[in-house]
């Protein structure tokens, strides 16, 4: 994959030629751009870093840390750590920023530099543009030997994260312990293996782990979608578990499996959490344009407003702050609870789901049956760098002149019985084509019809 620079940071495959992939030269140049941007912004010259389980993680970490130190920036290395753990460590250490070394759901040959500000949140599009300009302009000055930054480690970042989850006002620790839940975790050979089980132990939950060896050799496609989780579904059924849990390699996405191996899915993670939260602390709900209508339905059930943002965690967070949301996230299983921190977090997501199960006395299957049913198709169209996306959007609009549309992020068409959302991926050279309706056949029909126009 060609090196991609975007609001999501810098991402590409390991190896190949500089400028085409995520090579050592590209890592150094872009980290130097970030470090220089941070220094020029007046932030504290201290950066927290952490990595998922990818085989390239140690190399990328060494290059990242050395580059920051060479700019006179102190580095705190959390080593293996989830994305939300690093986000929380930034504020815990009062650092000027953070870098997460993870390519999220992409296969093991990928890695990425995901960039945080001093709030432990992803940097804005404006800051990202400034940073890229600095990195590409080459106007970077390294420090003298007497001013090199210090490198220290933080072995307690995960413990701090779990402690904050347990102290959360809506996490019903005692009720969860009393329920005696049994769960199965698919850790996909990454940092879920060292983060979810200790949280479960603290909550008195019996956790069986599959794909728990932390080696980055992902046992299956690491995106937590039903077609990749057959083994997890079978384990949940065979063990008579109350819940199956699938996370992505950096543990900011949470997908759920119900008793009997039933796919609950990513989209209904936010719906389940919002249902629980709004029953205790009312307020608006925010998700992105590619998320299920079920989030808006659950907000309406509790008499609360729903707002949609552009896709991307930074956009969801901005909208949540703007409207004072009680809960938010993305339909890919990312839960953002502002009481903990403004970042997608599978640990707090799991704790709130378990709290809902424990206090309602219902299984996740029973909760799911109580929500409006939708089926979603997540499709894509591969494109090259010269593809005229704006022209494609114009063709689509012309075909459906009476359909309500939104262009705050790509193009979304809201039909009476469903919707289709088209947008360029931030991480891959594709156009994402998401569609939702009351049945899978209708959702597929909507998606196929729009893809033909592309």
| Span 388-409, average pLDDT | 90
In tens, the pLDDT along 139-154 reads 899 999 999 999 999 9
Tell me the two tokens of residue 102. 């993870």
On whether both 300 and 190 belong to a single domain, the answer is yes
What is the average pLDDT value for the chain, to the nearest integer? 95
| Span 155-161, average pLDDT | 98
Clarify whether 163 is annotated catalytic.
no
Range of the domain at 426: 375-453
Rg for the chain, CA atoms, rounded: 21
CA-based end-to-end distance of the chain: 22
Per-residue pLDDT, 4: 81
- Looking at the 3D structure of the chain, how many domains does it have? 3
Last residue of a domain, one of 128, 155, 182: 155
Per-residue pLDDT, 207: 98
Per-residue pLDDT, 241: 98
On whether both 200 and 74 belong to a single domain, the answer is no
| Span 210-238, average pLDDT | 96
| Span 14-42, average pLDDT | 95
Q: Which residues are within 8 A (CB) of 419 and not within 5 positions of it... i.e. 6 or more apart?
A: 293, 412, 413, 435, 436, 437, 446
Q: Could you tell me the pTM of the whole model?
A: 0.94
Tell me the two tokens of residue 13. 């495959």
In which band, very low, low, confident or very high, does the pLDDT at 426 lie, cut at 50, 70 and 90?
Answer: low
What CATH number has the domain bearing residue 90?
3.40.120.10
On whether both 219 and 321 belong to a single domain, the answer is yes
Per the model's pLDDT, the better-predicted residue between 206 and 1 turns out to be 206
In tens, the pLDDT along 184-216 reads 999 999 999 999 999 999 999 999 999 999 999
- C-alpha span between 413 and 243 (Å, rounded): 35
pLDDT value at 388 more than 90: no
pLDDT value at 427 more than 70: no
Nearest to 80 by CA among 190, 196, 211: 190
| Span 433-452, average pLDDT | 94
pLDDT value at 389 more than 90: no
Burial class of residue 138, CB neighbours in 10 A (0-12, 13-18, 19+): exposed
DSSP string over 16-38: SSBTTBB-HHHHHHHHHHHHHHH
Set 104, 157, 290, 346: catalytic member? 104
Last residue of a domain, one of 323, 350, 369: 369
């Amino acid at each position: 994959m060609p090196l991609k620079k975007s609001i999501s940071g810098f991402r590409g495959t390991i190896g190949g030629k500089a400028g085409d992939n995520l090579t050592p030269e590209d890592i150094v140049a872009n980290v130097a751009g970030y470090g220089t941007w941070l220094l020029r912004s007046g932030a504290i010259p201290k950066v927290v870093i952490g990595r998922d389980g990818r085989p390239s993680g140690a190399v990328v970490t060494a290059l990242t840390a050395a580059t920051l130190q060479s700019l006179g920036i102190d580095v705190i290395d959390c080593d293996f750590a989830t994305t939300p753990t690093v986000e929380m460590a930034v504020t815990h250490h009062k650092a000027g920023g953070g870098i997460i070394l993870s390519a999220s759901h992409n296969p093991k040959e990928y890695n990425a530099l995901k960039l945080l500000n001093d709030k432990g949140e992803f940097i804005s599009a404006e800051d990202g543009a400034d940073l890229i300009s600095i990195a590409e302009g080459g106007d970077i000055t390294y420090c003298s030997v007497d001013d090199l930054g210090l490198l220290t480690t933080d072995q307690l970042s995960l413990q701090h994260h779990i402690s904050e989850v347990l102290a959360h006002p809506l996490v019903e620790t005692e009720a969860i312990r009393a329920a005696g839940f049994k769960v199965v975790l698919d850790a996909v050979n990454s940092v879920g293996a060292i983060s979810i089980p200790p949280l479960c132990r603290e909550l008195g939950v019996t956790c069986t782990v599959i794909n728990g060896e932390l080696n980055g050799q992902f046992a299956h496609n690491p995106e937590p979608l039903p077609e990749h989780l057959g083994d997890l579904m079978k384990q949940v059924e065979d063990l008579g578990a109350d819940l199956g849990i699938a996370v992505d390699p950096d543990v900011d996405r949470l997908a759920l499996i119900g008793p009997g191996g039933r796919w609950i899915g990513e989209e209904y993670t936010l719906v389940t959490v919002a249902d629980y939260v709004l029953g205790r602390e009312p307020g608006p709900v925010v998700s992105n344009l590619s998320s299920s209508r079920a989030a808006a339905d659950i907000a309406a059930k509790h008499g609360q407003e729903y707002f949609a943002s552009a896709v991307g965690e930074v956009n969801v967070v901005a909208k949540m702050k703007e409207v004072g949301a009680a809960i938010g996230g993305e339909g890919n299983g990312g839960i953002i609870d502002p009481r903990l921190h403004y970042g997608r977090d599978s640990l707090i997501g799991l704790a709130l789901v378990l709290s809902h199960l424990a206090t309602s006395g219902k299984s996740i299957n029973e909760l799911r049956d109580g929500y409006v049913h939708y089926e979603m198709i997540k499709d894509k169209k591969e494109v090259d760098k010269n593809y005229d996306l704006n022209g494609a959007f114009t063709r689509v609009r012309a075909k459906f002149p009476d359909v309500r549309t939104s262009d705050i992020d790509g193009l979304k068409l809201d039909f009476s019985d469903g919707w289709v959302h088209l947008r360029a991926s931030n991480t891959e050279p594709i156009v994402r084509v998401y569609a939702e309706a009351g049945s899978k056949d209708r959702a597929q029909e909507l998606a196929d019809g729009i893809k033909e126009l592309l």
